[in-house]
């Protein structure tokens, strides 16, 4: 089921941004710089949480999604979401967008170079591209090893990136990095911790445990933020890239 109702994070953006500083969540609404005169694409929009929020703010935003039921639900609500028929092609015209963002999508793609060229095609010169992927140089990969499930996520994550591997791909296809940073969402860390503590459990992402208690989550958030004051490479890598002429 696709729930497009306005959540508390949409109604109170300042509170959401403040909470995400504690939780470590990577949310494009917190850092994608957009105004009402710009065209935006949310590629791999999922259940359209971000897209519907931008749309409600008057932003000219479109989405692309592979799941037919999501596309239909979004279109019924008046959102411009197009079906991805070919994962190597973006279903929009050349130079249509000022901004494109992909949140936890790029690592699923079989042909990253071909797709980066597609991103170049649909962006205007000077347009901005935001990509978020698991960071293979994260300190938590070294800590959790084979239990770093937020990054490995086999068999769905086909490639694993860090800034040293993603930047050359971007430059090869006409993009220049403007800003690179990383963050560890508390939910990712908790998933890895579950994998470590419950190695025989195969339903970690939905079966609740004591680690999902609200108080425990807040404790993890505080501890994580303290540790990561001294850490450069965190779990989720985010890159802001500009399309050069």
Sheet holding 236-243, edge to edge: 80-83, 60-65, 39-43, 97-103, 123-134, 236-243, 175-183
> Which residues pair with residue 240 across a beta bridge?
130, 179
> Which residues pair with residue 132 across a beta bridge?
103, 238
- Is residue 9 pLDDT above 90, yes or no? no
pLDDT per residue over 195-234, tens digit each? 999 988 777 777 788 999 999 999 999 999 999 999 999 9
Residue 90: helix, strand or coil by DSSP? coil
pLDDT per residue over 66-112, tens digit each? 999 999 999 999 999 999 999 889 999 999 999 999 999 999 999 99
pLDDT-derived band at 1, boundaries 50, 70, 90: low
Nearest in space to 233 (alpha carbons), one of 172, 155, 151 = 151
Nearest in space to 170 (alpha carbons), one of 109, 222, 239 = 239
pLDDT of residue 87: 87
pLDDT per residue over 46-55, tens digit each? 989 999 999 9
Could you check whether the bond before residue 155 is cis, i.e. omega within 30 degrees of 0?
yes
Q: Which domains does the chain have, with CATH numbers?
A: 8-134+155-184+236-243 (3.40.50.150)
pLDDT per residue over 134-188, tens digit each? 999 999 999 999 999 999 988 889 999 999 999 999 999 999 999 999 999 999 9
Nearest in space to 129 (alpha carbons), one of 242, 46, 237 = 242
Q: Are strands 236-243 and 175-183 parallel, antiparallel or unpaired?
A: antiparallel
Share of the chain above pLDDT 70, in %: 99
């Amino acid at each position: 089921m696709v729930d497009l109702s306005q959540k508390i994070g949409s109604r109170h953006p300042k509170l959401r941004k403040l909470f995400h500083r504690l939780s470590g969540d990577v949310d494009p609404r917190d850092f994608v710089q957009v105004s009402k005169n710009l065209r935006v694409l949310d590629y791999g929009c999922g259940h359209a949480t971000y897209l519907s929020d931008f749309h409600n703010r008057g932003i000219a935003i479109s989405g692309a999604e592979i799941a037919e039921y999501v596309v239909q639900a979004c279109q019924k609500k008046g959102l411009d979401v197009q079906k991805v028929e070919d994962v190597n092609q973006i279903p929009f015209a050349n130079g249509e967008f000022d901004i494109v963002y992909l949140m936890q999508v790029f690592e699923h793609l079989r042909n990253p170079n071909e797709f980066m060229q597609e991103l170049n095609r649909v962006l205007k010169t000077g347009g901005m591209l935001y990509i978020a992927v698991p960071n293979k140089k994260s300190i938590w990969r070294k800590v959790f090893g084979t239990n770093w499930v937020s990054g490995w996520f086999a068999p769905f994550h086909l490639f694993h990136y860090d800034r040293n591997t993603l930047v050359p791909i971007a430059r090869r296809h006409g993009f220049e990095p403007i800003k690179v940073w990383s963050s560890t969402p508390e939910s990712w860390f908790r998933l890895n911790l579950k994998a470590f503590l419950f190695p025989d459990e195969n339903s970690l992402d939905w079966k609740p445990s004591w680690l999902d208690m609200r108080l425990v989550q807040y404790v993890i958030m505080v501890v994580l933020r303290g540790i990561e004051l001294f850490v450069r490479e965190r779990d989720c890598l985010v890159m802001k890239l500009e399309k050069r002429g």
